[in-house]
Amino acid sequence: MNDWKTIARQLMAHDFVIADVKYGSLKITPKGRTLLRGEATFCFRPDVLQKKKAGAAFRKPATRIADDIPDGTKELFHALIGVRARPSAA
């Protein structure tokens, strides 16, 4: 399913199709019509980005991170957490 997004993005980058925001669709351009008639070529290039594994965005809770901090800096670490938890004054 994600391959369709890749294909659409590449076709748009090569100006074979354009986004029609009025109808939420893609429109074939004159250059795209030459592709349909076989007068132009298009080479699909698969995405090279790795898909994230499930749970890749998992973050350690601050309490577990604090276990890894040397004793002399734990107080400073917890003070920083308190500062970051406050709403900004902007």
Q: Is residue 51 part of a domain?
A: no
Please tell me the total number of residues recorded for the chain in this structure: 90
Q: Is residue 28 part of a domain?
A: yes
Cα distances from 37 to residues 18, 25, 28, 32, 78, in angstroms, run 18, 21, 12, 9, 66
Domain that holds residue 32: 2-36
Mean pLDDT per 10-residue interval, the chain, length 90 residues: 83 94 93 95 80 59 70 83 77
Q: What gap in Å lies between CA 13 and CA 8, rounded to an integer?
A: 9
Return the pLDDT at 5. Answer: 87
Q: What gap in Å lies between CA 34 and CA 17, rounded to an integer?
A: 11
Residues whose CB is less than 8 angstroms from the CB of residue 30 and which lie 6 or more positions away in sequence, other chains included: none
Domain tally, the chain: 2
Q: Is residue 48 part of a domain?
A: no
Return the pLDDT at 53. Answer: 61
Return the pLDDT at 60. Answer: 61
Q: Is residue 46 part of a domain?
A: no
Return the pLDDT at 90. Answer: 58
Q: Is residue 45 part of a domain?
A: no
